């Protein structure tokens, strides 16, 4: 029987956080996903109003969640399927041909992909913003499916190129758990 993300044991790192509920921005947190539930890890970072980057790695996959003052503001991944263009094609907001055209234009101009799809009229600024939020949610959702790997929280200011989206962390976690339960046949 598969182990639910809600059934995972607490790791020593998370117990340390629970004894010190207010994490400072100087604390570095790292460990293994086998030892801690991602929900607990995120909730501790968010409730302590942390600012920094939570990076998770498994094999050659690396995904990062950017947190500012306890809010999830962005996420990134080194996987092609997590690129915003691919997410928007999957969501039916862009065609593969539009993504290809935007990428060709990007190579020639060095502009960001999002700016290009808006400039070319493929998306409105609001549609792009919604697409970026969807990308962040999809990256976070995919992390909840990882059963093993390493995590490392690097406290401090976020990189300047981070696009601050400020998403409701409780809603993201709740939606993710609901999706996972539905996929496993445990949803109503």
Query: CA–CA distance from 120 to each of 46, 90, 131, 143, 179 (Å)?
Result: 37, 20, 16, 32, 34
Confidence of residue 12 (pLDDT cuts 50, 70, 90): very low
Confidence of residue 34 (pLDDT cuts 50, 70, 90): very high
Positive/negative CA dihedral, 120, 121, 123, 128: positive
Q: How far is the C-alpha of 140 from the C-alpha of 138, rounded, in Å?
A: 5
Cβ(164)–Cβ(73) under 8 Å?
yes
**Residue 6 pLDDT grade (very low, low, confident, very high; cuts 50, 70, 90):** very low
Query: Can you tell me whether residue 66 is helix, strand or coil?
Result: strand
> Residue 103: its pLDDT value, please?
93
Give the angle subtended at the CA of 76 by the CAs of 120 and 126, to the nearest 5°. Answer: 35
Q: How confident is the model at residue 43 (pLDDT cuts 50, 70, 90)?
A: confident
DSSP result, 117-157: HHHTTSS-HHHHHHHHHHHHHHHHHHHTT--S-EEEEEESP
CB 70, CB 49: distance < 8 Å: yes
Q: How far apart are CA 96 and CA 35, in angstroms?
A: 40
Residue with tokens 């690396």: 62
Banded model confidence at residue 101, pLDDT cuts 50, 70, 90: very high
> Taking 70 as the threshold, does the pLDDT of residue 188 lie above it?
no
- Predicted TM-score of the model (pTM): 0.77
């Amino acid at each position: 029987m598969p182990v639910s993300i809600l059934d995972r044991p607490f790791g020593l790192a998370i117990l340390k956080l629970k004894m010190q509920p207010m994490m400072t921005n100087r604390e570095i947190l790292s460990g293994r996903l086998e030892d801690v539930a991602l929900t607990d890890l995120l909730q501790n970072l968010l409730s302590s109003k942390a600012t920094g980057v939570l990076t998770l790695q498994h094999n050659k996959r690396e995904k990062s969640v950017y947190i500012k003052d306890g809010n999830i503001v962005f996420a990134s991944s080194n996987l092609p399927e997590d690129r915003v263009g691919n997410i928007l094609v999957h969501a039916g907001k862009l065609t593969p041909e539009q993504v290809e055209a935007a990428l060709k234009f990007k190579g020639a101009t060095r502009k960001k992909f999002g700016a290009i799809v808006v400039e070319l009229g493929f998306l409105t600024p609001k549609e792009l913003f919604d697409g970026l939020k969807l990308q962040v949610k999809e990256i976070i959702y995919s992390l909840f499916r990882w059963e093993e790997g390493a995590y490392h929280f690097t406290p401090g200011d976020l990189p300047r190129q981070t696009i601050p989206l400020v998403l409701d962390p409780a809603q993201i976690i709740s939606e993710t758990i609901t999706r996972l339960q539905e996929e496993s046949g445990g949803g109503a």
